[in-house]
Amino acid sequence: MEKRSAGLESVFVFLIFGIFAVSSIIMLILGARVYKDVFDSTKKTSEVRAGLSYISNKVRAGTRAELIEEGDMQVLSIQNDGEEIPYRVIIYYQNGVIMEDTMIQGMSFDPARGEKVIPVSGFKMEYNGDLMTFTVTGENGATKSLTIGK
């Protein structure tokens, strides 16, 4: 009888251990799935947020910002008059990339001279009264807007 009881206890211990092992594996799989979803969501909006943060920081760092036409393209012109040598930064959208060109005041704008900032699938700039609205669409379709004063 004692042998049978010891065998039953062993089966019970292995059963508890098996339930614990299966529960641990299920929790691990669910945790990995949640992590993947959070990572994908963050990745989806990170390029859009990075583009808008970049523009916001450039506008705030400048003396004056305005949307103007340079040739056949709309650009954001940011003046920096408080420096020893005044300069301006031109931000524009070309061939799926937000671009930047920094030049001394008085130099002419040349889109070929610009540096790539961040690849996006769409970038729109517009005035809303005294405010400028920038809308960035990421390569994955996520869209966000930023409205900032001139």
What is the band of 57 on the pLDDT scale with cuts at 50, 70, 90? very high
The C-alpha atoms of residue 90 and residue 66 are separated, in whole angstroms, by 10
**Displacement of CA 127 from its chain's centroid (Å):** 23
Q: What is the DSSP letter of 142?
A: -
What is the band of 149 on the pLDDT scale with cuts at 50, 70, 90? confident
- Residue 134: pLDDT over 60: yes
- Residue 98: pLDDT over 90: yes
Convert the pLDDT of each residue in 1-50 to its tens digit: 455 666 788 888 899 999 999 999 999 999 999 999 888 877 777 878 88
Amino acid sitting at position 144: K
Neighbours of 5 (CB within 10 A): 9
SS3 101: strand
